[in-house]
Amino acid sequence: MDLTAAFGPFAGFAWPWLLLALPLPWLLRAMLPPVREGGAALRVPWSAGRLSALAEGVHGRPRVHGTPWLAWSGWALLCLAAARPMAWGEAVQPPQVARELMLAVDLSASMGERDMLVGDEVVDRLAAAKAVIADFLDRREGDRVGLLVFGRGAYVLAPATADLATVREQLMATEVALAGRETAIGDAIGLGVKRLQAQRGGERVLVLLTDGVNTAGVLDPVKAADIARDSGVRIHTIAFGGDGEQLSVFGFRLPSGGSEIDEAALARIADTTGGRSFRARDTATLAGIYGEIDRIEPVEARGEAVRPRLERYHWPLALALACGLLAAGLAWRRRGR
């Protein structure tokens, strides 16, 4: 029998210190005082037949000592089982998601336009975006997601992290015009690319949501898209906002002074980097867009090969049980003679 094939390559013991218990019976035997001979005699009835049988058992047939080795073997096997011997299993490569996401959210003044509905409540664009993106984050378990906001300038609120609760808290704390009243789309792309380049390997994705045109910053959006493409960053753009109308508290549409959206520029940014461009005119459409991004972005990669350690304590434990059963059988056989 090939023990290596059955047991597997030996990988050590989980609790090797329990092997120190192996010499314990010998130490106890050496340290404890021996049983004193003599003392009270065994009282038996004065029957000639029984007395002769007892004498024959003592002086005639010698006692059989056939089981001490089984006791020692059983103890040694129990100690081995308690130490938990381990064996190496077959090498496996678990799948892992290698994905870095950076969410870029526009906080310019136009994001305060109240032309969106969340349930039956009229809200501004930023409030609607927060509700949808928060739900998107709830489905990103296992990913590393970061958050940056932009207005007149671009700022990172949360670097790419697996702590999505913190990213969500940072998102919910944002306010319209927090980063300025203008829109620096190019600077937002440049900062997102810079942050994603600093992260570990894997797919790098920037999801940019805006409701305006580039009116601030030092980096041209098209040039920023070229940098993103050369850096291996894919950009999905979302043009978010109504068609120049604002909802009143009674649901009527009123003219809005909000700026128009440069959909052509956003589409060019996405095409340059291999991403997709979307247009959302209401909250439901925006939720569907983030759902689509959720569908197209999962990238499953092979993780680092690992060899699991498998428990093998049951083998010495079974042998110890077999020694105990064999010792009991021999003792029963001697008593039956």
Is the pLDDT at 8 greater than 70, yes or no? no
Domain ranges of the chain: 8-28+67-92+308-337, 95-297
In terms of Cβ atoms closer than 10 Å to its own Cβ (0-12, 13-18, 19+), residue 187 is buried
* pLDDT given for residue 154 in this prediction: 96
Residue of higher predicted confidence among 178 and 6: 178
- E strands, 162-250, in order: 203-210, 233-240, 245-247
Per-residue confidence at 198, pLDDT binned at 50, 70, 90?
confident
In terms of Cβ atoms closer than 10 Å to its own Cβ (0-12, 13-18, 19+), residue 210 is buried
How do residues 128-138 score in pLDDT, each as one tens digit?
999 999 999 98
* pLDDT given for residue 233 in this prediction: 94
* pLDDT given for residue 243 in this prediction: 66
Residue of higher predicted confidence among 203 and 53: 203
Domain 95-297 in this protein, CATH class: alpha beta
CA distance 54 to 47: 11
Q: What is the DSSP string of 63-127?
A: PP---HHHHHHHHHHHHHHHT-EEEE---B--EEE-EEEEEEEE-SGGGG---EEETTEEE-HHH
Q: Report the percent of the chain where pLDDT is more than 90.
A: 38
Mean of the pLDDT values across residues 287-299?
A: 82
Per-residue confidence at 115, pLDDT binned at 50, 70, 90?
confident
38-44 long-range Cβ contacts below 8 angstroms, 24+ apart: none
Is the pLDDT at 259 greater than 60, yes or no? no
* pLDDT given for residue 133 in this prediction: 94
Per-residue confidence at 54, pLDDT binned at 50, 70, 90?
very low
CA distance 127 to 283: 10
Is the pLDDT at 58 greater than 50, yes or no? no
Mean of the pLDDT values across residues 59-79?
A: 67
CA distance 54 to 77: 38
Phi and psi, residue 173, nearest 5°: -85, -5
Please report where in the chains the tokens 């090939």 appear, as a residue.
Answer: 2
Residue of higher predicted confidence among 19 and 43: 19
How do residues 99-108 score in pLDDT, each as one tens digit?
788 999 999 9
Is the pLDDT at 214 greater than 90, yes or no? yes
Per-residue confidence at 264, pLDDT binned at 50, 70, 90?
very high
Tell me the average pLDDT of the chain: 80
CA distance 191 to 314: 57
Residue 87, number of CB atoms within 10 A of its CB: 18
- E strands, the chain, in order: 10-13, 85-88, 95-97, 99-106, 116-118, 121-123, 144-150, 154-161, 203-210, 233-240, 245-247, 253-255, 277-280, 300-302, 309-311
Strand partners, 102: 146, 206
Per-residue confidence at 1, pLDDT binned at 50, 70, 90?
very low
